[in-house]
Amino acid sequence: MEKAEGSKKNGIIILFIVLSLSYFISSFHRVALSVLSVPIMEEIDITIDTISTLGSVLFFIYAIIQIPCGHLCDRIGPRKIMLVSLVITSLGSLLFGLANNSTSLLLARMVLSVGISTVYIPAISFVRLLFKNEKLGTFTGGLLAFGTFGTVVASKPLQIFIDHFSWRICFYIFAALSLVLSIVIARLTKNIKMDTVQSKSNDLQKSKGLGLNTSFVLLILIFTACSGAVQSFQGLWFIPYFTEGYNFSFESASNLLLMFSSGYFLGSPIMGWMCDRFDTKKLVSIVALCNAFIWVLLGTELVQSSGVYLMLTLLLLGFFSSGMTSIGFYYVGKYARLDKRALITSILGFGGYMTTSILLKLMGSIISSSGGNMGKLNMIFLIYSAFIFVAGVLFIINKKEKV
């Protein structure tokens, strides 16, 4: 009996690692264009406007697929969605690696976007079903940390890789890895019974609406602002912001991106661990205000002239941004109705990714016409800060907690 129980636990941990690797791939593709933009423009001879479109289309598709994906996860469970998403991701990676003009790049990017946009909701749904309330915050944070390690790899390590090998090889590797993971997940989950709303129809009565109270609405606003702000910055314009606006070398800007990504990697597990031990509502407010303060530092150019302070600021920006993601997903997993958890998670994602899609194009227009002056972009940073601050304060004032 004990041996069977131990084997089951080992199987769950292995599945958790494989799911995390899947999210790792999704995170890598979301932000890799920030480093790859220069070598792609040089090899295929495309403009910065085309790069902007490639960045924007991914987050636009990512956004519009979130809610249908969340609805399906609540209805049929995460297994089938995860398997299909990894196969599509594999195909998109292969096509992007083979692309040789702007049209083929865009089509490949669209296929890739469909694949990676349907990874994290089923992955989080798996975690909620496997671990339920036992260390849910820790494992949610662990999933996001393992996944967002992809953003670390997509910074300095990716720049080193493309210095020695073609950027195309990178996409071939990820195409193969995605396909392998789909096969492994199919085998690991074949005999695992996953509870869905349909399987619990005797215990749950179908109810109308999402069950969103004021706390959830404010959480969605905070999550949307924090996620959209940092993803648009990290996902494409991080390096151009520092190289064109503040005369950093490409290597120095890559080092700054690595520092940011390191903070992003650390924030998820630490905040997830804290969610299991502290008042989640207080954590939402504190982390929101920290995000607001950091955007003020960047927007007022208080840290750009000092290498040490700038690196620390970017480390903290990554830390508290990913921390908000862990807290947001934990909050939904703990307080949302069982039959709406994946759907509400998808609403968080929709807000963040749609905002990212819009901001990518806006920031691209500003940078391409800035002539090296980042004043307008810094003003946008201050707008981020004001919005997050107001929503965070309102969340503190609001007293309702449960749905």
Is the confidence at residue 152, as pLDDT, over 70?
A: yes
Mean pLDDT of 366-375: 73
Res 198: pLDDT? 43
Is the confidence at residue 196, as pLDDT, over 60?
A: no
Which of residues 238 and 226 earns the better pLDDT score? 226
Q: What letters, b where the CB count within 10 A reaches 16 and e where it falls short, cover 306-345?
A: eeeebbebbbbbbbbbbbbbbbbbbbbbbbbbebbbbbbb
User: Residue for token digits 């997830």?
Assistant: 272
241/232 Cα distance (integer angstroms):
12
152/28 Cα distance (integer angstroms):
8
Is the confidence at residue 70, as pLDDT, over 80?
A: yes
Per-domain boundaries in the chain: 7-397
325/232 Cα distance (integer angstroms):
15
**End-to-end alpha carbon distance in the chain:** 39
Instruction: Please answer whether residues 136 and 79 qualify as being in contact, where contact means their C-beta atoms are separated by less than 8 angstroms.
Output: no
Res 255: pLDDT? 85
Which of residues 369 and 345 earns the better pLDDT score? 345
**What contacts 295, CB < 8 A, 6 or more positions away?**
229, 317, 381, 382, 384, 385, 388
Confidence band for 203, pLDDT divided at 50, 70 and 90: very low
Average pLDDT, the chain: 81
Confidence band for 201, pLDDT divided at 50, 70 and 90: very low
Res 208: pLDDT? 52
7-397 fold: Growth Hormone; Chain: A; (1.20.1250)
pLDDT by residue (tens digit) across 99-145?
888 889 899 999 999 999 888 888 888 887 777 666 777 888 888 88
Q: Which percentage of the chain shows pLDDT scores above 90?
A: 18
pLDDT by residue (tens digit) across 235-280?
667 878 888 778 888 788 888 888 888 888 888 889 888 888 888 8
Which of residues 32 and 339 earns the better pLDDT score? 32
Cα–Cα–Cα angle for 27, 31, 33, rounded to 5 degrees: 135
Is the confidence at residue 5, as pLDDT, over 60?
A: no
Confidence band for 8, pLDDT divided at 50, 70 and 90: low
Distance of CA 361 to the CA centre of its chain: 18
Res 217: pLDDT? 86
Res 7: pLDDT? 58
Is the confidence at residue 62, as pLDDT, over 90?
A: no
Neighbours of 7 (CB within 10 A): 10
Confidence band for 294, pLDDT divided at 50, 70 and 90: very high
